[in-house]
Amino acid sequence: MSILTILQFPDPKLRQKAAPVVSVDDSIRTLVDDMFETMYSAPGIGLAAVQVNVLKRVIVIDISEDKSQPKCFINPEIVKRSGDEKMDEGCLSVPGIYEPVSRAKEITVRYLDRDGNAQELAVDGLLAVCVQHEMDHLDGKLFVDYLSEMKRNRIRKKMEKIRQHTM
């Protein structure tokens, strides 16, 4: 297994759109395993393939305290959403920034699991937030896009300054 490099905002590669997975084969399962290892090492509770510069519709999530609930969603689609809830969000591609974002409170998501089986799952709470956050990544959307332009520019400048100092 490998720890992959996580793209950092404002890298334009984070704005790429991922393509559907045609066949859930061993190469996809290796990607999933590498994404879990990368996510746990960050540490984070979610990761989308676009964040590691892979343009496939794959996300991994584990909101448990003890890495006991790994969930992989391939070609995820939200088929039902209800309510709305505001929650502070962070992102491994925008480290150190946490801002409130409104999203659907409950969602039902259809996806393929790591064996290629079709699944449907109704979720709420942090898991629902995370699924929506990661699915945005697959379309090149970041949680900072829900903030004001002024806030987003301030975050962009901060990240660029950090990047210059670490080069």
Q: Residue 63 CB, nearest distance to ligand K2U (Å)?
A: 8
Positions 111 through 140 that interact with ligand K2U (CB under 6 A): 129-130, 133-134, 137
Candidate residues 6, 45, 59, 91; the one interacting with Zn ion per rule CB under 5 A: 91
Cα dihedral angle (93, 95, 101, 105), rounded to 10 degrees? 70
Residue 130 contacts which entry, ligand K2U, Zn ion, none (Cβ below 5-8 A, type-dependent): ligand K2U
Active-site residue list: 134
CA distances from 137 to 15, 23, 68 (A): 8, 21, 24
For 25-52, b where at least 16 C-beta lie within 10 A, e where not — what string? eeebeebbbbbbbbbbeeebbbbbbbbb
Structure tokens at 19: 């393509």
Using only C-alpha atoms, the chain has a radius of gyration, in whole angstroms, of 15
Residue 129 contacts which entry, Zn ion, ligand K2U, none (Cβ below 5-8 A, type-dependent): ligand K2U
The CA-CA-CA angle for residues 110, 66, 4, to 5°, reads 70
Structure tokens at 61: 């999530």
Q: Residue 26 CB, nearest distance to ligand K2U (Å)?
A: 25
Beta bridge partners of 60: 47, 72
For position 10 contacting ligand K2U by CB under 6 A, the verdict is no
Residue 114 contacts which entry, ligand K2U, Zn ion, none (Cβ below 5-8 A, type-dependent): none
Residue 59 contacts which entry, ligand K2U, Zn ion, none (Cβ below 5-8 A, type-dependent): none
Candidate residues 18, 49, 57, 89; the one interacting with ligand K2U per rule CB under 6 A: 89
Binding mask 61-80 for ligand K2U (x = CB under 6 A): --------------------
Residues that bind ligand K2U (CB under 6 A): 44-47, 89-93, 129-130, 133-134, 137
